Chain A
């Protein structure tokens, strides 16, 4: 995918101290757009409760074995990045990090509030050395407020943000929308946006700043439209009670003859009228928003969609203006001809592994398009290179490695 086109964020250097998903996704978005993203990873053995109790499902290749290399190749959140391993708990390690920060534009971290101070990599310390630094702390609940120290994951942030309670089918537990809303959208993507905003502000002010981004706040922001209805009309959304969560026939999912699902989003009356015509009940168009008819229309649509396979319905409906789409599995989504034609499956050659597929770049920029330039590094793959860039002599590097200051 690489080309000779310039990259939008060329020359922007990001130090990424974050782990897990939200931060790495945010810095991946910046890296896709050309930023030089450096993952600052741990050196020395994990200590405390993390020692020896690794999470089961980690996609980060953490060693140089064949399986580790394969995992790294597929780990899209690490693509386009470099990796240095530093023991930030040692004075020398911290000094290495300070030298990196002196030449960086952005620091991104996702520790629990208070940890960066303990490690000496907090905003006050770093901005004193580099006032142009944009520093983004991405946390579950933010740096202030009663829940600042509460631990959590996506499921919890969407709970407390009021999103999860709206999602599901009647009589069943709320349905968990994977970790898209808090981790990816309200966390990583919102952080990438905020960082770019701060970089734009820096062009004018000459100074960086601190960004406190809570994923729980990000979730609430994504509910701005629904929140507006709540504040103005007192709207509460029980599952399946509203046009946006399965309460209406015209915006819903229907099972087809082959046990697959189809989605119908005929919000506009002219689209719904066309759908009703095709399904043989033009009269339903007149009662699209009639609450008394809702269950009857839903029942009819359920029956009708059961009479053909999903493919047959799509052949019939896709050429019509009715707002329809197949409910795809991941496999179907990433083999669909449109997704492939639009570059949403990036293929990159990885030495020793072969051709590796990853999700492509979402926004398509005409002059400085985002690129997938290379796979995730193995931990510490660029340690020597980066230390050299910071002016460290080979002997010092060797000594630091021996002392496990870096790895």
Chain B
């Protein structure tokens, strides 16, 4: 691990003024991604600003009936918070499906949004070719072993999957990310927060250097909205998703009035599928509709030699999640 200078921030202003966006300055919260990658020499910050004492640990109702989540709220606290388990069960389910109890006690809301990929070639500096780690060096995964890699949102420069479960649920809940930097505060819709790799896989989101996530807000859900998170993986627990689906639906009679769909484990960012939503809204909640939604979601898929199975897997994952969320199969949980 490279040596770094440690600084402790007591207030958000302290933190953002200490991190004026110089390269080599990083915030550390739970550390579960950053310290892991520092040990691998993938991350080599020169200055580490500890934000663990920042007073951003509240989960509270907002005046519009939504919820405001401090960036330092730990994943386990968020998963078990009454406001979340009651109003946004899809978020609790996603959080509880992620990592282990120990890691969920450490990982924070802001940090989880910024998790780095589990691509083996990104994590192992013995591979020189990784455009995300070393822009312009190539991508070892495209012609390498790419079973866990993305089929949606890929480019010829990067096929790394975004690993978060939490962010997938937040995508379906239409969350907003709130930030602060030395230039002031701003709010970013989560749907516009992440970037697909394109020609710049090293740039994963729209945060500017030195910009700190302070809160995430969730809009209120209309009465009768139902939600569900389904995660499919190689092990029953403590494993990243091969495919996951977060579904939020509003029903009227047997009809889907409104649908919000996001996929995990198959895309280069937490993947909101407007295509699936369009195919589902206004339709009767039945197998034919679910199938149409799933096919629409995966229409743009670009499978590679080891991950072609993910096309079918993601479709099955989404149809099953829709079945549960719409109450078409109460036993499917």
A and B bind = no
Q: Which residues of A does B touch, CB under 8 Å?
A: none
